[in-house]
Homo-oligomer: A and B are copies of this chain.
Amino acid sequence: MKKSLSMKEIAELAGVSVATISRVMNQNGGYSTETEEKVRSAIKKYNYVPNSAAKSLRTNRAPIVGIIVPDILNEYYSRLVFELQMAFFEEGYLTMICNTNESSTLEEKTVQALIAQSVSGLILISGVNYQKRSLATGIPTAYIDRRPQDDERGIVYVESDNVQGGYMATKELIECGCTRIAFITDMLGESSKIGRFKGYCNALNEADIPIDPSLTMRVQNVAIDDAFQVVSEALEKGITFDGIMCTTDMLAIGATMASEAAGYKVPEEMKITGFDDVSATTLFRPSITTVHQNTDAMTKLVAELLIDLIDGKKLKEQDYTIPVTLMKRASTRGE
């Protein structure tokens, strides 16, 4: 284990003081071009790498941002994480990506651990307001995709226009001739899902279709099997509907499978929409009509906001909503 040289040693080798090395490293000025040259060549020659623990200790901040994600196996979230990482790397930040598996206890532990690492900032996909719980006080924090339930507009938040997305998906079903439209979601606790439900209601109201509570179905996980089961049961029980709006693509795929298994042709006798536009929507037959979230815009924006926060800038706006796009495919319109 060849330990790397410290600033002090480099200083001796370069014939200057540690202060000068530090100044050159951080380009703080207060040195001549001549000295700078001397220092730079010593740094290069001896391959000096500053000790970031010492730096963090002194400056009370590491060039790292923590990212809390509930389920990295979900393609939508892994896309978010991927883009976040790229955005931060370009700005000189490393990211610690932490998957919480939708477990709040694991999430809390992880946030603790990240804080202990004195990360510069936190990106959260979470329904918990840590600032309020005074866990993350003082650490710049921005939320994306999910808004904490107990938010009082104190947080920085970026989301898709879920209401609009829910509205567009439902309207597509109506336009394609559906008159009884079911709604499937996992827990309605997440703000994004609530928005989608609101959009669903808006579209129905606009078309003067009454909202039938028996057509709202809940599911434990956003998994194909869960949707399959709940749709199969509803159909068996004799509940009738000719369209299903699902709050995720996996639910839509499960719903399609169940409909077909029960003898309904999709899209002829049953039309279905998803949400997120993951790759499976075009791999699966019929391809799934879905709402595309502009993750690229979302992640770039939230990264920018967090960095502004870290740099101590005041934000004009704390709350952002990004437009979505409807992708019309076979599950509503056929090939």
- Which residues of A does B touch, CB under 8 Å? 1-3, 49-54, 56-57, 60, 62, 64, 72-73, 75, 78-79, 81-82, 85-86, 89, 94-99, 101, 106, 110, 112-118, 134, 137-138, 224, 253, 279-280, 283-285
Which partner residue on chain B sits nearest A52 by CB separation?
B116
Residues from chain B with Cβ under 8 Å of A285 in the complex: 284-285
A96 with B95: CB separation less than 8 A: yes
Closest chain-B Cβ to A94's Cβ sits at a distance in Å of 5
User: Is A283 touching B253 in the complex (CB atoms < 8 A)?
Assistant: yes
Contacts of A56 in B (CB 8 A): 53, 56
Closest CB of chain B to A118's CB: distance in Å? 6
Q: Could you list 25 A-B pairs, sorted by A, with CB under 8 Å?
A: A1-B137, A2-B137, A2-B138, A51-B57, A51-B118, A53-B53, A53-B54, A54-B57, A57-B57, A72-B85, A73-B79, A73-B82, A75-B75, A78-B78, A85-B97, A85-B98, A89-B98, A89-B106, A94-B113, A94-B114, A96-B97, A279-B280, A280-B280, A280-B283, A283-B283
Contact, CB under 8 Å: A82 / B98: no
Contacts of A118 in B (CB 8 A): 51-53
- Cα distance A114–B138 when bound, in Å? 25
Chain B proximity of A186: nearest CB distance (Å): 18
The 7 A-B residue pairs with the shortest CB-CB distance in the complex, in nearest-first order: A53-B56, A1-B138, A53-B57, A97-B97, A52-B116, A96-B96, A78-B78
List the B residue with the shortest CB-CB distance to A71.
B82
Task: Using A54-B57, A224-B283 as known contacts, list a sample of 11 further A-B pairs with CB atoms less than 8 Å apart, ordered by residue number in A.
Answer: A1-B137, A2-B138, A50-B116, A51-B118, A53-B56, A62-B117, A64-B117, A72-B78, A89-B98, A94-B98, A94-B117
| A113, B94: Cα distance in complex, Å | 8
Residue in A72, A79, A224 with the greatest tally of chain B CB atoms within 10 Å: A72
Q: How far is the CA of A73 from the CA of B98 in the complex (A)?
A: 16
Q: How far is the CB of A44 from chain B (nearest CB, A)?
A: 13
Whole-angstrom CA separation of A94 from B109 in the bound complex: 11
Residue among A53, A62, A118, A285 with the highest chain B CB neighbour number at 10 A:
A53
Smallest CB separation, A265 vs chain B (Å): 15
Chain B residues closer than 8 Å to A137, beta-carbon distance: 1-2
Q: Which residue of B lies closest to A50 (CB)?
A: B116
CB-defined contacts of A106 to chain B, threshold 8 Å: 89
In the complex, A64 Cα to B117 Cα: how many Å?
9
Which of these, B89, B97, B110, B116, contacts A49 with CB under 8 Å?
B116
